[in-house]
Amino acid sequence: MIQVENLSFSYQNNKVFKNLSFSIKKGEYLCIIGKNGSGKSTLAKLLAGLIFQQEGSIKISGYDTKNQKDLLEIRKLVGIIFQNPENQIITTSVFDEVIFGLENLATPREKIKEIAKNSLKSVDLLEYKDRLTYQLSGGEKQRLAIASVLAMETEILIFDEATSMLDPVGKEEVLKLMKELNSQGKTIIHITHDRNDILEATEVIVLAKGEIKYQGKPYKIFEDDKFNPFLIKIKNILEKNNIKIDDKNINMEDLVRLVYENIS
């Protein structure tokens, strides 16, 4: 569905990416993780066709992001949800926010109401359709931003640090919604700096200084002591004591549980 080949991009004289290549399959839940300054948000904007690479190619379902004629189709396919929902919400009411993009696309009036209601229902905000946007919590505002993207019938959703400004409850709501949308066939690209977020993904890319340091299954990353040395040390100690570890479910919570079970 998404093919990135030999991608290079610079801000003025600052090289962000050089010859970056990877692919994303339809229906995948990809987590792109890295520290601040690793190029994550720049990559999100490039994939959404909001900025353009100097070299290489990005193709979304065969459409080229550098081809002006393809941009409209790409923006129908790809939706992006940013870190701060306040920067994405335009109107004053919940329902008006969802129909805003539909009206701009000249969607038939008789279809707009139905699409908007379905989009709000999918993020559990239908009962709030008549509320003013300022009355929503942070998590509810982010879900509204997601509903607005879903109303455009996008197939690929990019979450650019979309949970980093939320409280634990709001973050859990959005992460649960991302998983549900993926189960419905949506391709999810989750940009994050939080290693805990990778556990729900089907694929992980680790970015550092504009380079891919790891690409593969989430559980494999915990086996690499470059990324999680403390976790690996605990795992090795448990295995030396004949405590069986399921590598596909290795995380700190599971290891703590195993320690407790074997000393009690």
pLDDT class for 24, splitting at 50, 70, 90?
very high
Q: How far apart are CA 145 and CA 7, in angstroms?
A: 29
pLDDT of residue 109: 85
CATH architecture of 26-44+70-221: 3-Layer(aba) Sandwich (3.40)
Tokens 């992460």 found at: 175
**How confident is the model over 247-258, as pLDDT tens digits?**
555 666 666 666
Domain coordinates in residue numbering, the chain: 26-44+70-221, 223-264
**How confident is the model over 186-225, as pLDDT tens digits?**
999 999 988 778 878 999 999 988 889 889 888 777 666 6
Q: Which phi and psi angles does 18 have, rounded to 5°?
A: -140, 115
**How confident is the model over 145-167, as pLDDT tens digits?**
999 999 998 999 999 999 888 88
* Distance set, CA 56 to CA 51, 138, 207 (Å): 13, 37, 18
* Distance set, CA 149 to CA 93, 130, 144, 264 (Å): 16, 19, 9, 50
Q: Residue 175's closest CA among 135, 136, 215, 146?
A: 146
